[in-house]
Amino acid sequence: MEELTQIGLKLAGILLAFTVVMTLVAYTVLAERRVLGFIQGRLGPNRVGPGGFLQPLADLLKFIFKEDIVPDKSTRFVYFLAPVIATVAALMTIVVYPFGPDIHLPFNLPLIGNTIPMVVTRFDVALLYVLGVTSVGVYGIALAGWSSNNKYSLMGGLRSSAQMISYELALGLGLIGVILQSGTLDLYTIVEQQAGHLGISGWNVFWVQPLGFLIYLIAAIAETNRVPFDLPEAETELVAGFHTEYSAMKFALFFMAEYVNMFTVSMLATTLFLGGWNGPFVHQLPWLGVFYFLGKVILFLFLYIWLRGTLPRFRFDQLMSFGWKFLVPAALINIVVTATIEWSGLFDWIVNLFHLKTQTGWWG
Amino acid sequence: MTALLFILFAGMAIGCAISMVAQRNPLYGAISLIGVFISLACLYVTLAAPFIAAVQVIVYAGAIMVLVVFVIMLLNVEEEERLPLRLRSLVPIAVGLASILFAEAAFIIFFVQASPATPTSNTSDVGLTSSIGAGLFTTYLLPFEITSVLLLMAIVGAITLARRGGLLPPEIVVVPGFQVLARDVLDPLAQPEAPPIVAHTTEEVEKQLGLEGVPHVGNDA
């Protein structure tokens, strides 16, 4: 009975996290269209509901009622499997991100008790879990390209697998600096370590990791196939790349997977580099942490949209040489520098001198 | 609960493994193998070894199998045809080996159940990342280093093999951004055996075709 209650609570937590993330993802799509419109000197969708607020709902209805076309010569099973893999792999990581600190209630709730954790599950290797699940997401795109039996799709799928394998390496190496400093792979502990004056001075991005942050940011944009690294779906060359032959809800699944991926890499960046839920007055009012966390994630999403409105696309050989000849060596240098500083104890000395990573005083 | 999960994932692993061997299409085989790896990772989690599980997914499912799928897609391997079975003499040997394997498994299961409960002292930190790291860099340092040398040798070997022979003659250097165009694509009057045009920009192509000074069509005309 006790076990069943625990499973039920976990499922409720997953459902809640899923709902929050999916709602924000739907509005990211709307925000992208409005912001891009603003950048390009036009209005963007503003007809459905006040200021276009109900546009995501209208889009969803449209996707559901569109005709679902399956190419005659496609490999049926894989063709159906690919969008499922892409979406599931994208959604699976949201359970490990700490959305906020534990919230203590003055009274007891039935079944839950008086402490509500703002993370669905905590475990020893959360960071590795995130990297592993993300790397499985490649199959969604690669198999979609292969099973469509269309040369543009195949080219898009091949490009995307080559790109994702290359940038995964830089992404993982860029994170090693943070792991070296934190000494743990548990995301909750990494966030807790970043508390400091006003919840800001302890952020990892300020502590030896600006280079790691930059590498992670660039590699994450490439991992999610966004501008300027959106070669798998470069419409000037490949029609729509790997999802050329997909329509209706199956296309919507790929679309959703891309935006959920954007959301999860932003959550990881926030957690590891920008202090997660840390911010002013979180110590007194823990629920503020949820808003800080989501606020930082939304800043990242805005950065994505901004880049899309600003930058042109890379050429494929530029993409590859940038990944292998610049990002990977830079990440290796970052590891050596971080390891040296950790070993010399210089970093700990400065932090202890100014109490930068501990919560001090009433503002902590 | 744990037993239920074990049966679920073990069944998935065995099913995927059988499917991997039985599939005629190489890509389906590769997908089945990914299924095996992921089911095994789930089994590791139930056995309190989350680090091994994560590494299993990252290394095998996320890196090695992506390359395998990539190669299958690049080569566009067709479904293999059912050839008449050669080496028929090996079938009885295979059956014999399989029966030995089953006998071993049955033996182990029987004796584990017959023996009293194994002493599980201090297993709380066995699968954790820090204990694995400490073990790798203290007790098992030498095997760890030897493994890394082995991996380095594999990389060096791969590069040596890739550089020897290959598709292009050794004096040709491939520069990214260079365009090689067959001459008859640009110049319909050219002889088919005329040397191809190698250039970075449109201006260079014009120079090689002897078209300098000819007005352009379009915006800059």
Q: What CATH number corresponds to the domain at position B28?
A: 1.20.120.1200
* Range of the structural domain that residue A184 is part of: 64-354
B57 has pLDDT over 60: yes
**One domain, residues B71 and B137:** no
Inside any domain, residue B122? no
Mean pLDDT of chain A: 83
Inside any domain, residue A154? yes
Helix, coil or strand: residue A337: helix
**One domain, residues B22 and B47:** yes
Q: How many domains does chain A have?
A: 1
Instruction: Work out the angle at residue A12's Cα, subtended by the Cα atoms of residues A9 and A13, and round it to the nearest 5 degrees.
Output: 85
Instruction: Please provide the DSSP assignment of B60-120 as one string.
Output: IIIIIHHHHHHHHHHHTPPPPP-PPP--TTHHHHHHHHHHHHHHHHHHHHHHHHHSPPPP-
Contact B58 A128 (CB under 8 A): yes
Inside any domain, residue A160? yes
pLDDT tens-place string over residues A18-44? 888 888 888 888 888 888 888 888 888
**One domain, residues B134 and B192:** no
Inside any domain, residue A260? yes
- Torsions phi, psi of A186, nearest 5? -85, 120
Inside any domain, residue B38? yes
pLDDT tens-place string over residues A332-343? 998 898 888 888
Inside any domain, residue A42? no
* Range of the structural domain that residue B17 is part of: 1-77
Inside any domain, residue B29? yes
Q: How many domains does chain B have?
A: 3
pLDDT tens-place string over residues A58-81? 888 888 888 888 888 777 888 888
- Chain A CB contacts of B73 below 8 Å: 142, 145-146, 154, 157-158, 161
Judged by a CB distance cut-off of 8 A, whether residue A185 touches chain B is yes
B149 has pLDDT over 60: yes
Q: Which range, A157-166, A183-192, A251-260, B211-220, has the best average confidence (pLDDT)?
A: A251-260
- Alpha-carbon span A168 to A135, nearest angstrom: 8
What pLDDT is attached to residue A363? 45
Under DSSP, the state recorded for B143 is: H
Beta strands in chain A (DSSP E): 103-109, 113-116
A215 vs B210 pLDDT, higher one? A215
**One domain, residues B70 and B15:** yes
- Could you tell me what percentage of chain B is helix, strand and coil, using 3-state DSSP and rounding each to the nearest 5? 60, 5, 35
pTM flag (> 0.95): no
Inside any domain, residue B34? yes
Contact B69 A143 (CB under 8 A): yes
Question: Of A50, A175, A317, nearest to B178 (Cα)?
Answer: A317
- CB < 8 Å from B in window 287-326 of A: 315, 317-318, 321
- CB < 8 Å from B in window 100-159 of A: 123-125, 128-129, 131-136, 138-139, 142-143, 145-146, 154, 157-158
B169 has pLDDT over 60: no
Inside any domain, residue A305? yes
Inside any domain, residue B219? no
Inside any domain, residue A285? yes
Inside any domain, residue B99? no
Inside any domain, residue A317? yes
Contact B31 A143 (CB under 8 A): yes
**One domain, residues B4 and B54:** yes
The confidence band for B80, taking pLDDT boundaries of 50, 70 and 90, is: low
**One domain, residues B156 and B184:** no
Mean pLDDT of chain B: 77
Residue A327: count of CB within 10 angstroms of its CB: 23
**One domain, residues B186 and B155:** no
What pLDDT is attached to residue A364? 42
Which of B1, B2, B31 to mutate to probe the A interface, most A CBs <10 Å? B31
What pLDDT is attached to residue B77? 63
- CB < 8 Å from A in window 108-137 of B: 127-129
Contact A142 B69 (CB under 8 A): yes
The confidence band for B12, taking pLDDT boundaries of 50, 70 and 90, is: very high
Contact B73 A145 (CB under 8 A): yes
At B96, which amino acid appears? G
Inside any domain, residue A254? yes
Instruction: Work out the angle at residue A293's Cα, subtended by the Cα atoms of residues A287 and A299, and round it to the nearest 5 degrees.
Output: 140
Of B34, B60, B77, the residue at which a domain comes to its end is B77
A199 has pLDDT over 80: no
- Alpha-carbon span A139 to A152, nearest angstrom: 17
